[in-house]
Amino acid sequence: MFERYTETARRAIFFARDEAGRTGSPFIAPEHLLIGLFRADATLAADMLGTAESTESVRGKVVASYAPGEPLPDHVDLPVDPACVRALGFAAEEADQLGHKNITPGHVFLGLLREEDCLAAELLRGSGLSLADARTRVRDEPAPPPQKVSLAGFRDRFTEATRRAIRFAHDAAILSGGHGIAPEHLLLGLLEADAELGRHLPGAAVAGHSIRNKIIPPGTPGERAPSLGLLPLDLSTAHAVRFAAEEADQLGTNDITPSHVILGILREEDCLAAQLLNANGLTLARARAIVRGDSTLPPA
């Protein structure tokens, strides 16, 4: 379903699921999708609504609308409600009408506005955002150029386990229908390449399990995907790899191990993988202490 979605649009979907689960909702509704868009692309949200203050106002009204509920575990699979399904369908139609190959967060905003009877559309309209204005903004937005980031300069420093992790991350990206290797794929690759990593860094395995449930459909075979040409790293993953090299340098080692890459992901703090690691008790400070072998660990 999400093959055409950009990485940022995919993250909006992931964040929508997290928002629904956090509030105990039995399904993902348009208002959860709206919060997912705010989390995935705060700059676009502020542009659509005029100011960051308007975004926060809408966010507050969405949160106030939630019925009380107990948070749901990350591994629980939540269905998308019919209104949200229609909104995502409208997003695809908007991309087609504009001649855009990929579905971006901007198209998803348009989809929500077209599902006009839902709370998300009502709040967007109440903030002054009309469907016509939003279409103009999305139409005028230049298509992002493809970003291909090289591992040159780092590859020679990777341990064999780290090289395997990159290969497994590539396979995870293909299995999930991605067009690039995101930090979520990298975390899955790290856990598959290094069986001890989840025990060495508590919380990583739980976060990885949650990510796999979110981005790879249940029942997808676990073997290596057929080669479709090497996918590029997305910018967040490139940042994480650079941060991993810095962490290795700070520890006085030339080798970049899977543990250093976990530190790099945690430093790329806005990505889904980092947020799930944090949510499962693995903060950057705690992970650094574990990797360095400190006897006293910061609290989880």
Instruction: Indicate if 19 and 114 belong to the same structural domain.
Output: yes
pLDDT, tens digit, 9 for 90 and up, residues 128-165: 999 999 999 898 766 555 444 556 677 889 999 999 99
Write down the pLDDT at residue 164: 93
Closest C-alpha among 136, 137, 93, 98 to residue 115:
93
Instruction: Indicate if 224 and 253 belong to the same structural domain.
Output: yes
Instruction: Indicate if 168 and 110 belong to the same structural domain.
Output: no
Closest C-alpha among 215, 191, 206 to residue 280:
206
pLDDT, tens digit, 9 for 90 and up, residues 191-220: 999 888 888 888 888 888 877 776 665 544
Instruction: Indicate if 101 and 177 belong to the same structural domain.
Output: no
Q: What angle do CA 59, 62, 113 make, to 5 degrees?
A: 90
What is the CATH classification number for the domain harbouring 258? 1.10.1780.10
pLDDT, tens digit, 9 for 90 and up, residues 78-112: 889 999 999 999 999 999 998 888 899 999 999 99
Instruction: Indicate if 252 and 163 belong to the same structural domain.
Output: yes
Instruction: Indicate if 125 and 193 belong to the same structural domain.
Output: no
Using the 3D structure, point to which of 110, 140, 170 is the last residue of a domain: 140
Q: Does the predicted model carry a pTM greater than 0.75?
A: no
Cα 285 to Cα 1: distance, rounded to the nearest angstrom: 37
Residue 150 lies in a domain: no
Sequence-separated (6 or more) residues with CB below 8 Å from residue 115: 30, 83, 84, 86, 87, 90, 121
Q: What residue numbers bound the domain in which 116 lies? A: 7-140
Residue 93 lies in a domain: yes
Instruction: Indicate if 81 and 182 belong to the same structural domain.
Output: no
Write down the pLDDT at residue 68: 81
Domain count, the chain: 2
